[in-house]
Amino acid sequence: MNDPTGSSAAALSRAMAAGRITAEAVMAAHLDRIEALNPRLNAIVSLRPRDQLMAEARAADRGSRKGWLHGLPVAVKDLAAVAGLRTTWGSTIFRDHVPAADDVVVARMRAAGTIFIGKTNTPEWGLGSHSFNEVFGVTRNPYDPARTAGGSSGGAAAALAARLVPVADGSDMMGSLRNPAAFCNVYGFRPSWGLVPGDPIGDSFMSTMATLGPMARCPEDLAHLLAIMAGPHPALPFGRDAADYPAALDGPVEGTRIGWLGDWGGAYPCEDGILPLCEAALDGFADLGCEIVALDPPFPAEKLWQSWMVLRAFLNAGSKRALYDEPATRAQLKPEAIWEIEQGLQLPASAVYQASAIRSEWFRRLARLFRDVDVIALPTAQFWPFPAEWRWPETVGGRPADSYHRWMEIVVPVSLAGLPCLSVPVGFGAQNLPMGMQLAGPVGQDAAILRLGQAWHQTTDWPARRPPG
């Protein structure tokens, strides 16, 4: 294995298990690449000292094998706590915070043998699909460093695309696993809500829109990491049992009915070139034996947005109220966070109930829709990767944006329903910038969505087209 950084995590795991390569060699290769490329990209932050990491890699070589991640270098998204490693949530409030314990999923990854090398950059509190903050600055796209890598898992996506890490974790409320995957030509998988547990703190009954999940350069790596992350936690409600996702990857996909929703009848205007690229990808799925079905908008987009805005503001206000109430910490919140909290604080209970009722109505409509198709498909983003110095696109479809995240509205139908959804790379546009397409199925059909992604990857392998230089 001449270049460990060019291999998948699964290939590295197999090679280390067979004794064909050492964790020490894998670690050294990735740290060399981080040293060469990360200063330009700013994907990995809070990087641990090289001598400590090399010592841990040598210890992994001497010790018994713990699991699929044994000896693999991983940087955790800076929204998840890693014991002994600075975790900031992208906020100056926690600039020097060092947790004493791992979050649930981090503990599962540690038990599977990973070596945590640092964190991946994210916007403050994960708010927004552009990864910049006042602690570490902006993360740049490996395919064009003048452009955004997306967010909020932008550091993870950029690190994967640049081969700084073999596999990565992320999280997704409003496309945070999907958008950066599309912008960086990798895969991002949002699991069925409840499959991957969060941490048992605060509210866990009403907070049912955000989830953790895996990112990778191939679906096989997604499946392996998902198998480690997934499974119920005794202190959390609504848990779902994990499955053997790697074993389910190579089944047939012929006859899969993919419902194409496009731009939702014009409700989600997309920049030039995005829809044709996705439609060309659908032709590729047809070549795999899938049936492509053009769908009319199944639900009013404005009702979905209304429900989304109310529930998102309600949850943000609840989880961040203490930071807002304290003047010293409020002064350190970014304007978008303050806006979210203040929107939530003004909500009457009747508005929250109505938003939940709309969400429920949408889920019931999806149940009927999934009798006719197995999967729904949408572009992952409405914009190509935009200039890194922007905070967000200020116009959408030629009209001024009425919020900092209106430009990502196309991910809301999936998030609101908690569907399993894979963003698959579909190629490059006129400016050689990547794009992706969302493939979502019924809740619980995670293995089927990953299997469809595996068939696509075996035919296309878009991530093999590396960033220039």
Q: Which of 186, 157, 185 is nearest to 171 (CA)?
A: 157
**Residue 244: count of CB within 10 angstroms of its CB:** 10
Long-range contacts formed by 84-89: CB under 8 A, 24+ apart:
85/46, 85/48, 85/116, 85/118, 85/119, 86/46, 86/119, 87/46, 87/119, 88/46, 88/119, 88/133, 88/135, 88/136, 89/122, 89/124, 89/125, 89/126
Coil, strand or helix: which one is 183?
A: helix
Give CA angle at 211 (40, 139), nearest 5°. Answer: 10
Active-site position among 7, 13, 152, 153: 152
Q: Is 303 one of the catalytic residues?
A: no
**Residue 325: count of CB within 10 angstroms of its CB:** 11
Q: Which of 419, 424, 420 is nearest to 447 (CA)?
A: 420
Active-site position among 176, 192, 307, 415: 176
Written as six digits, the tokens of 11 are: 């290939």
The CA distance from 295 to 365, in Å, is 13
Active-site position among 7, 13, 46, 77: 77
C-alpha to C-alpha distances, 279 to 138, 395, 460, nearest whole angstrom: 32, 25, 15
Kindly give, in sequence order, each residue whose CB lies less than 8 Å from that of residue 387, ignoring residues fewer than 6 positions away. 146, 147, 148
The CA distance from 137 to 35, in Å, is 18
Q: Which residues share a beta bridge with 427?
A: 435
Q: Is 176 one of the catalytic residues?
A: yes
The CA distance from 392 to 410, in Å, is 15
Do 307 and 199 meet the contact criterion of CB atoms below 8 Å apart? no
Coil, strand or helix: which one is 209?
A: coil
Half-sphere exposure of 55 (CA within 13 A, CB side): 5
The CA distance from 259 to 273, in Å, is 20
Q: Is 207 one of the catalytic residues?
A: no
349-370 burial, b at 16+ Cβ within 10 Å, e below that, comes to eebbeebbebbeebeeebeebb
Q: Return the active site residues.
A: 77, 152, 176
